[in-house]
Amino acid sequence: MAIQLKSPAEIAKLRAVNLIVADVLDALEAAARPGLSTWDLNEIAAQRLKHHKADSAFLGYHGYPAVLCTSVNEVVVHGIPRKDVVLKEGDILSIDFGAFKDGWCGDSARTIPIGTVKPEATALMNATREALERGIAACVPGNRLGDIGHAVQSYAESNGYSVVRQFVGHGIGRAMHEEPHVPNYGDAGKGRRLSAGLVVAIEPMVNAGGPDVVVKEDGWTAITRDGSLSAHFEHSVAITDAGPVVLSRI
């Protein structure tokens, strides 16, 4: 299907569901602590989703078994919440959450420290968060898709990190994954032109070591090939004539 540009009224619907997503992520961030399992976090997310009368975007998606992705340390993305994955002091945890409300989808992720973490873990999280901000700043009409990827990649790599290639961001709207693919790498000035009404989920996955990722036997859990730490941040962003509007930020 071709790219679907959204009207201001449709962007308002996307804003509403992304505010729910942000609220759930805030609740998870407040709850996460050593001793809690990633399954406990899934249950908190499921409960809050119900409170908002919204539906999970992840549960059942290609058979995915939870409402949340919980990716600890060398897990890049798509970690499945489990009772036997118990958070411990020093971990970094990516929480990725998506929801539907009134037929519109929101999607966002953030990586958080569990207790006190090593300085290198903090530096990786900060650089990944900032790489996402650079990508968001490139979301202006007239720019090209490659400008987003280039902004993310050049910032991450200039800090000595690598960006994952196997997974990319995406358009978002009535479906979680719409055209176009939004890579976290690319060439400035290349690719399709960005126009007002395009809504994208930008989601850099940044590794402390090499860029390669392998998927475990469960078919979901993606880990760094070299076992290095990985961080992941995601926002749903509307490109408008007034510039980028981050829908998933309260």
Question: Which stretches of the chain bind ligand MF3, using CB under 6 A?
Answer: 58, 61, 64, 69, 78, 96, 98, 107, 109, 170, 201, 203, 234
Q: What SS3 class is residue 141?
A: coil
Over the window 103 to 122, marking each residue x when it contacts Co ion by CB under 5 A and - when it does not, the resulting string is: ----x---------------
Q: How far is the CB of 135 from ligand MF3 (least distance, A)?
A: 15
Q: How far is the CB of 12 from ligand MF3 (least distance, A)?
A: 22
Based on the shown chain and the rule CB under 5 A, indicate whether residue 201 belongs to the binding site for Co ion.
yes
How far apart CA 37 and CA 33 sit, in angstroms, is 9
* Helix/strand number for the chain, H first, E second: 4, 15
Q: How far is the CB of 204 from ligand MF3 (least distance, A)?
A: 12
Considering the complex, state which of residue 3 and residue 123 has its C-beta at the smaller distance from ligand MF3. 3
Contact 183, 169 (CB under 8 A): yes
Based on the shown chain and the rule CB under 5 A, indicate whether residue 74 belongs to the binding site for Co ion.
no
**Phi and psi dihedrals of 18, rounded to 5?**
-70, -25
Based on the shown chain and the rule CB under 5 A, indicate whether residue 178 belongs to the binding site for Co ion.
no
Q: How far is the CB of 80 from ligand MF3 (least distance, A)?
A: 9
| Block residue for tokens 């078919």 | 219
| Block residue for tokens 């978002």 | 172
How far apart CA 109 and CA 62 sit, in angstroms, is 19
Residues in touch with Co ion (CB under 5 A): 107, 201
